[in-house]
Amino acid sequence: MKSVFDTSLDRTAQFLTVGIALLFIGIAVAPLFYAADNYSGSGLLLIIFAFIYGISFLYSPRSYELNETHFIVKRPIGNVVINRREIKSALKTEKSKLSWSVRTFGVGGLFGYFGKFWNSEFGHMTWYATRMDRAILIVTNAGKKIVVTPNEPDQFLSAINGGK
């Protein structure tokens, strides 16, 4: 049994992903028009911005895979693999319970929401999300909390809880 669950960006993440790209390009290119004679930092800025954008893309969740033994967060680089025996529970979480989370180390909109987050209800969490709705909170036997956002949360919950 192998199931793959797609994930897609919410409107906020779509807006931020496009908006940040345009902002980066504007910041790097605009000085060429206003200080063309004495400005040489545009290329360096483009390289830095491309690096930030590229790293964010490479670590963004693209889909989730469940097989008999593992739960896998599929990313362009560095998939996250969790043994299914380590998963204690998985349940739907309302958007309002995640809305006031604080990003402690991670990305908050560029290609999704991933990294380390914290809020008063759940404490420390690791997010591999692309939207703020459709959230599933996975708790491991070690107490680690993981947030994922499959496009079909009910089917995902059925698959992850049915495989135990």
Q: Digits of tens for pLDDT over the chain (164 positions)?
A: 679 999 999 999 999 999 999 988 887 777 767 765 555 666 677 788 889 999 999 999 999 999 999 999 999 999 999 999 999 999 999 988 998 899 999 999 999 999 999 999 999 999 999 999 999 999 999 999 999 999 999 999 999 988 54
**Secondary structure tally for the chain: helices H, strands E:** 4, 10
The model's pTM:
0.88
Q: Quote the crossing angle between the two packed helices 42-58 and 11-34, to the nearest 10°.
A: 170
Q: How far apart are CA 62 and CA 78, in angstroms?
A: 12
Dihedrals phi, psi of 44, to nearest 5 degrees: -65, -45
Query: The tokens 């956002």 sit on which residue?
Result: 149
Strands 3-6 and 63-66: antiparallel
Q: Residue 33 to residues 24, 28, 30, 41, 42: CA-CA distances in angstroms?
A: 15, 11, 6, 13, 11
